[in-house]
Structure 1
Amino acid sequence: GSSQQHGCKSSRAVDASDLDRKQRILVVDDDAGQRRVLRAMLTKDGFEVDTAEDGSQAVKAVQKVKYDAVLMDGFMPNKTGWEATAEIRSREKETGSRRPITIIGVTGASGDDEKKCKEAGMTDTILKPISRDKLTAKIREWISKAEALRCDSPDPSSTPPPSAKEPPRPAAGSSQLRVLVVDDDAGHRMMLRAMLARDKHQVDTVDNGAEAVKKAAKVSYDVILLDGFMPHMSGWDACKEMRACEAA
């Protein structure tokens, strides 16, 4: 409704008055030279930059500071970037965070690296050697997507806790839909949620087919957006199981 739209505008106005706040990035790399280079690139483009030299430090840092994005190397001692990302995502799930932090994996050209990044829950990847223009463009792209999401989904702290009952269905004739987004890629989930929420649809997200089957059994969705290739249970297997439940 109009009140929702007004709330969105006012939050944008607050953001506009807060333009002096520099966007804060965490650079995670065990190579001191690489940390220096990335810090210099990002500082030059107006970001505030913190650094960590392994995955363990990164996990601790994101618990203390609300970063706009994390630039994460993969191969590191103590805890790899993939392990750190998986741990950060697991903590987000435990706390019920609706705004996953943007984590960009820094990878070599091997497809295996990209696969590891996706499986760990990284939002996106960037290939070495890194150019300043590409790096800044990628970070700004994901920050703006996160900002759109922040505007379009209510702050969990400002909304009452959900009741055990299913939320009310949209009124007959209403164009608002109840949508379930199923994708193991955190970046895709974030982007689809933002796009759908902007059109005032009610959106839930899960990251694998097994969770989708459970959700669909509890909630009557108008639309389910289902990715095919996912761990635990593929989208096709999940779809078959949902159809079997409907037929039962």
Structure 2
Amino acid sequence: MSDDRTAPVLEVEGVSAWYGEARVLTDVSVSVRAGEVVTLVGRNGAGKTTLLRSIMGLHRQVEGAIRLDGRELGRSSPDSRAKAGLGWVPDDRGIYASLTVEENLTLPPVTSKDAWSLEQVYEQFPVLHERRDFPGTKLSGGEQQMLAIARVLRMGSRLLLLDEPSEGLAPVIVQRIGEIIRQIKAQGVAVLLVEQNVAFASTVADRHFLLAQGKVVESLDNDAFQARTTELLEYLGM
């Protein structure tokens, strides 16, 4: 991993997005540095997932600049962005049902010299080693989430786009997912996280962007975010 943690790995500048004629993002700007976890917080429909999909190239009605390590991604395909170092972990986890756990881990191409080896994956995710011959969709929700994260680390992704990783998981599994995110961060991997669970977000993130009606309405460091947890929970209707 690069030792320069001051230059952004990801820069999103003035991004707007549409579904047909309906604008869902307006002039959104965020950045993430190496070894930093940044969350996108907001009510359902605020545009959080659309922003992740736009960064990954999965949503095409987009204007504005998206740069990875200073390089403009332009109209490049999702496949090209994955090879450049973006790791996509969708809310449905995207596990291949017909493949075993190990096949899910080894099928995607390795894109970086910093990719985790299979041995590293199994050391950090021992449950995946135990289940390595299981079909991927026979895992529990928490195990599938670990597999989805491990798969992009196995590819060598430098920036992880995580969409609601704690959703529907038992508290003990959410705690483990938090530990994994902190381990990833310590190794210099950047994380952009969509998260409704404000308490969970405050345990893993350095900075938070609050989205409302497709716009960034506030940017908070984690101390300010924690001080306003009650207010944010009320705002989110939780």
Is the pair's TM-score, using the shorter chain for normalization, greater than 0.5? no
TM-score (normalizing by structure 2):
0.30
Q: Which structure features the higher share of helix residues?
A: 1
**More contact order relative to length (CA 8 Å, sep ≥ 6):** 2
- With normalisation by structure 1, the TM-score equals 0.29
User: Which one has the bigger strand percentage?
Assistant: 2
